[in-house]
């Protein structure tokens, strides 16, 4: 697992952030999914293909995150499974990738129902026995969300239908579609639908390709003056930033850290400039020295005794030809 993948899994594993993400995407920021009701599920999706010997065909996939929860609406309660895939880079087959995860989970649910019924022998008729899955059995809906952690434009397919080539219109009614539910930070117009530090994190990701816009946001929004260190670490990993993290507390003043980083960059630039100036001065002195030695009639071999040939610039090598 890469550094970004590991950080994303750890960061979004927090139930408050996971619920905030789901509520933003699924319910326009309304607090429908409660963090305390989220239950961690096994992210390994395993299924033996129907009708085949399990020893012959075996499929296994690992999600980034999978949570089970309840959704309440007007007194009704339903169960739902929500998975999340974090993408540091653009994935041009994302709809198929997520569709496989969901299909495997549905297959696993059927398989578990069959196993339970077979053990108890609780079938009403031959059809239920042959199916393994009873007429009264229900599946738990599965939703997979894709979170893009990059700052560039997402130019990959978002739905399965985006991956098709030219299609005869008569076939359209028979083709199933699948949405990868891709969240792209730079496309978010209003971040107020987030109610955790995801707001600041996605704001940073959304401006990661525009340094001036990022600086203006960090220095003007008070929320960045006390940002939790976990979010600062995530930002550093996701966009390869080097924002100093406060080691003496649980929050970081990103406005102050940003200014310190900028000042450090200026100082380092000055130091590099001084070093380059000194080196250029040395080169200039050596070039003048070689000119003098040539004028004095020294041979190339005599000059090489003073300076290593491998370290010569093109101008100096050109002059040596004359010696």
Among 69-83, 152-166, 183-197, 267-281, which is the least confidently predicted range?
A: 267-281
Among 10-24, 67-81, 82-96, which is the least confidently predicted range?
A: 67-81
What is d(CA 230, CA 7) in angstroms, rounded to the nearest whole number? 10
Each residue of 278-316: pLDDT tens digit? 455 566 677 777 777 777 777 767 766 666 554 556 665
pLDDT at 127: 87
Over residues 259-270, the mean pLDDT reads: 54
Q: Are 269 and 278 in contact (CB under 8 A)?
A: no
The closest of 34, 13, 177, 154 to 84, measured between CA atoms, is 13
Q: Who wins on pLDDT, 42 or 34? A: 34
- Residues of the chain with pLDDT > 90: what percent? 44
Query: Which structure tokens are listed for 154?
Result: 């997402």
Among 20-34, 123-137, 282-296, which is the least confidently predicted range?
A: 282-296
Please provide the average confidence, as pLDDT, over all residues in the chain.
Answer: 83
Over residues 239-264, the mean pLDDT reads: 82
- Whether 267 has a pLDDT exceeding 50, the answer reads no
Q: What is the DSSP string of 241-269?
A: --PPPPSSSSEE-HHHHHHHHHHHHHHHH
Tokens 């229900």 belong to 138
pLDDT at 269: 47
What is d(CA 20, CA 183) in angstroms, rounded to the nearest whole number? 13
Phi, psi of 308 (to 5 degrees): -75, 130
- Whether 51 has a pLDDT exceeding 60, the answer reads no
3-state secondary structure of 73: strand
| Contacts (Cβ under 8 Å, ≥6 apart) of 81 | 41, 66, 67, 68, 105, 140, 141, 142, 143
- Whether 52 has a pLDDT exceeding 70, the answer reads no
- Whether 256 has a pLDDT exceeding 90, the answer reads no
Over residues 230-247, the mean pLDDT reads: 90
Bridge partner residues of 139 (DSSP):
none
């Amino acid at each position: 697992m890469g550094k970004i993948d590991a950080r994303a899994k750890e960061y979004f594993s927090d139930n408050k952030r996971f619920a905030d993400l789901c509520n933003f995407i699924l319910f326009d920021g309304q607090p429908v999914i409660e963090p305390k009701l989220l239950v961690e599920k096994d992210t390994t999706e395993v299924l033996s293909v129907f009708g085949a010997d399990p020893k012959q065909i075996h499929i296994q996939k690992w999600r980034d995150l999978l949570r089970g929860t309840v959704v309440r609406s007007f007194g009704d309660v339903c169960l739902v499974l929500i998975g999340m895939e974090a993408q540091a880079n653009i994935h041009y087959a994302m709809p198929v990738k997520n569709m496989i995860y969901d299909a495997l989970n549905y297959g696993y649910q059927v398989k578990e129902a069959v196993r339970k019924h077979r053990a108890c022998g609780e079938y009403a008729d031959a059809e239920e026995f042959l199916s393994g899955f009873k007429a009264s059995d229900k599946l738990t809906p599965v939703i997979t969300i894709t979170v893009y952690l990059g700052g560039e434009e997402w130019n990959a397919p978002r739905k399965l239908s985006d991956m098709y080539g030219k299609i005869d219109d008569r076939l359209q009614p028979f083709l199933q579609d699948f949405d990868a539910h891709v969240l792209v930070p730079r496309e978010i117009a209003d971040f107020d639908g987030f109610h955790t530090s995801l707001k600041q994190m996605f704001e940073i990701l959304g401006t990661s390709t525009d340094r001036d816009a990022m600086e203006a946001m960090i220095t003007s929004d008070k929320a960045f003056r006390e940002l939790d260190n976990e979010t600062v670490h995530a930002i550093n990993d996701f966009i390869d930033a080097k924002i100093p993290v406060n080691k003496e507390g649980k929050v970081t003043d990103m406005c102050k850290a940003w200014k310190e980083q900028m000042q450090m960059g200026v100082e380092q630039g000055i130091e590099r400039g001084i070093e380059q100036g000194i080196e250029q001065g040395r080169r200039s002195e050596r070039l003048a020295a070689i000119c003098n030695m040539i004028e004095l009639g020294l041979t190339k071999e005599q000059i090489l005794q003073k300076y290593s040939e491998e370290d010569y610039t093109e101008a100096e090598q050109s002059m040596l030809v004359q010696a």
